[in-house]
Structure 1
Amino acid sequence: MDLRDLRYFETIAELEHVGQAAERLHRTQPALTGAIRRLEKEAGAPLFERAGRGIRLTPAGKVMLRWAQRLRFDVEDAQREVGDIGRGLSGVVRLGIVPTAAQFQLPQAVRKLLAEAPDVRLKTTVALVDALMPMLRGGELDLVVGTEGRPEAGFVSRRLIEDHVVVAASTKHEIFRVTPTLKELARYRWVLQPPGAPTRDWLDHTFERRGLPRPDVQVESSTLHMLPLLIAETGLLSFVSRRHLDFSTGRYPLREVPLKEATMKRRLVITHRTNAYLPPAAERLMSLLGSE
């Protein structure tokens, strides 16, 4: 099978539309149709079927997609491994990392890595783990640092640190003049990440399980490093890593609202594809992140 045909097939399968795939790949629709016909002839089965205005994979197409991705990974890994021979700690490391780890773990690890290997280049994508894992599956990333989830076939994870997410407020907030309870917290407004973020969903469900309304969110922000400043400036409650409180001295002092039932424990892990080639620099970065 032609590797180029398989790459075209992957893009068509992703977009479920030949015309859109042609635009992305800068190829004509007949060229892509020809590639699919060649693959179907070799496979001995149709790979796509009509679905409304688009197309979708047949059962045979789903099997073909899995093997096409595996073949592409093998070719790309072989090229990288051969290129890395004799280069030592150099080359490119593609890292996906969640915001909290990017802020508090990554800088020191990168400082140490660059001191050992000044020729390494690091391409970093900062996002929530739900956005990073598809990129890892697709071979766009070598490593992902994120919150621990359910084990998934084809991936291996190594635990890094345990983190605690707590309710936080400005040191001047009136919540510190009373005994904090979930019912008391429900009286105030909040600044939180949007729904779908793991910490937001955990907090919402914590209130619901105790028969309380979800936190009254006045400000939503997907940018975590903005939360401490927003908490201090607005007087709103928030839900952030305890690590933020250690860095909130000076102009914007914050304080934890001590409440066990509103403290979320989570583990950060570093994940890669099970059989993927990892450049020596990626292996070293994993080690440095694990030593923090």
Structure 2
Amino acid sequence: MDVYQLQYFKTIAECSSLVEAAKRLHVSQPSLSRCIHKMEEELGTPLFDRVGRNIVLNGAGNVVLRYAQTALNTLDAIPTEVNNYLRDKEQTVNLFAPMPLADDGDALVEFTEKHPDILLRVGVGWLTPSLSMEAPDLMIFSSLEKPTGRNEVLLYEDRLMLAVSRKNPLSEQKEVALGELQNEDFIQPMPGTFTDILHGMYDEVGLRPHIISENQSYRQLSNFVSHNLAVSIVSPMTWYLSRNETIAYLPFSDVQRSRYICLRWPENTVLAHATFLLREHLIDYYKRLSKKVFGD
């Protein structure tokens, strides 16, 4: 059964006449008769009863009509739905950002204030995108190397510092030697790329840190430091976003490490206008924020 059969069947049912249906459809009456006969053979039952000069649907015919109308309505809706999808896609951006970068709501609030008609769909996580949405249009990620891909751009260089409570005497210093912190308790994230960087720093200065907790919650890390329970090597840019006035950030005098926060988009694609606007906004936003945090 194809769409033409369903359309012919529906029109005949509406007209209750093969002659009138043939006129409306601009086809021959024999063609309609063959169409109905084929449908009745396929279904194994008559679909119309003859009443005088007219033909009317019987019980089986009414069942077929109900499904025929649903099928035809669905087919009619396809162009509209596709156009709606394309329109919405132009005005929707799927962004993936790992925690705790995803906590930086200011960047997205600022963008939405400028472009309230654009829908932002943000997926967050610690490792890789596992989104219940389409593949990301933009993805923020960290790397030990500067981005080199044609579909990547550097948002900022994150120079690692020591976060200490302002209750800690270390907070009065302008800088600190990591190798001299053997008497301090440390807290750090769960093992991963970031902690690999930390272990490299410890090894370089010969420090065996006393780690009292590993925690993947940025807020828990911050709370431990704020309450002077531990110190932590952190991304100052990320921690700056919390605006926690009880924490001081000290550069290291004996070891330097950076990680690079980057933005990536799909290769070999033309960015939708909304995606382009968000990309340019993020580049500008983090450039401004980097100047605030690092003064350059």
Instruction: Provide the TM-score with structure 1 as the length reference.
Output: 0.57
Matched, 1:188 2:181: no
| Contact 2:162–2:233 (CA under 8 A) maintained in structure 1 | yes
| Contact 1:245–1:254 (CA under 8 A) maintained in structure 2 | no
| Contact 2:151–2:267 (CA under 8 A) maintained in structure 1 | yes
CA distance in 2 between partners of 1:99 and 1:288 (Å): 20
Structure number with bigger Rg: 2
Matched, 1:221 2:247: no
Counterpart among 127, 152, 161 of residue 157 in structure 1: 152
For the structure 1 residues 94 and 183, does the alpha-carbon distance in structure 2 shift closer, same or farther, using more than 3 Å as the test? same
- 1:257: which partner in 2? 250
Q: CA deviation at 1:222?
A: 1.0
Q: CA deviation at 1:109?
A: 3.3
**What is the alpha-carbon root mean square deviation over aligned residues?**
3.4
CA distance in 2 between partners of 1:288 and 1:125 (Å): 18
Counterpart among 166, 170, 186 of residue 171 in structure 1: 166
| Contact 1:145–1:271 (CA under 8 A) maintained in structure 2 | yes
Gaps of 5+ in 1: 1-79
Superposed, 1:11-26 pairs within 5 Å as none
Deviation per CA, 1:165-188: give whole Å up to 9, x if none: 211111122445889433321322
3-state SS in 1 of match to 2:153? strand
Q: CA deviation at 1:278?
A: 3.4
| Contact 2:188–2:211 (CA under 8 A) maintained in structure 1 | yes
Deviation per CA, 1:103-122: give whole Å up to 9, x if none: 34xx3332343234323222
For the structure 1 residues 183 and 209, does the alpha-carbon distance in structure 2 shift closer, same or farther, using more than 3 Å as the test? closer
| Contact 2:179–2:254 (CA under 8 A) maintained in structure 1 | no
CA distance in 2 between partners of 1:211 and 1:157 (Å): 36
Matched, 1:142 2:137: yes
Gaps of 5+ in 2: 1-80, 286-296
CA distance in 2 between partners of 1:81 and 1:286 (Å): 26
- 1:131: which partner in 2? 128
| Contact 1:167–1:263 (CA under 8 A) maintained in structure 2 | no
For the structure 1 residues 115 and 235, does the alpha-carbon distance in structure 2 shift closer, same or farther, using more than 3 Å as the test? same
Worse-matched range after superposition: 150-159 or 277-286: 150-159
Matched, 1:275 2:275: no
- 1:98: which partner in 2? 98
Amino acid corresponding to residue 115 of structure 1 in structure 2: E
- 1:75: which partner in 2? none
Q: CA deviation at 1:268?
A: 1.5
Percent of matched pairs sharing the same residue? 19
CA distance in 2 between partners of 1:139 and 1:96 (Å): 11
For the structure 1 residues 273 and 241, does the alpha-carbon distance in structure 2 shift closer, same or farther, using more than 3 Å as the test? same
| Contact 1:245–1:256 (CA under 8 A) maintained in structure 2 | no
| Contact 1:143–1:271 (CA under 8 A) maintained in structure 2 | yes
For the structure 1 residues 259 and 239, does the alpha-carbon distance in structure 2 shift closer, same or farther, using more than 3 Å as the test? same
| Contact 1:181–1:259 (CA under 8 A) maintained in structure 2 | yes
3-state SS in 2 of match to 1:284? helix
Q: CA deviation at 1:152?
A: 8.9
For the structure 1 residues 171 and 219, does the alpha-carbon distance in structure 2 shift closer, same or farther, using more than 3 Å as the test? same
For the structure 1 residues 161 and 144, does the alpha-carbon distance in structure 2 shift closer, same or farther, using more than 3 Å as the test? same
Amino acid corresponding to residue 158 of structure 1 in structure 2: V
Amino acid corresponding to residue 207 of structure 1 in structure 2: Y
CA distance in 2 between partners of 1:87 and 1:280 (Å): 12
Matched, 1:115 2:113: yes
Superposed, 1:30-49 pairs within 5 Å as none
CA distance in 2 between partners of 1:84 and 1:167 (Å): 48
For the structure 1 residues 195 and 119, does the alpha-carbon distance in structure 2 shift closer, same or farther, using more than 3 Å as the test? same
CA distance in 2 between partners of 1:170 and 1:81 (Å): 55
3-state SS in 2 of match to 1:286? helix
For the structure 1 residues 255 and 102, does the alpha-carbon distance in structure 2 shift closer, same or farther, using more than 3 Å as the test? same
For the structure 1 residues 168 and 141, does the alpha-carbon distance in structure 2 shift closer, same or farther, using more than 3 Å as the test? same
Q: CA deviation at 1:124?
A: 1.4
For the structure 1 residues 233 and 156, does the alpha-carbon distance in structure 2 shift closer, same or farther, using more than 3 Å as the test? same
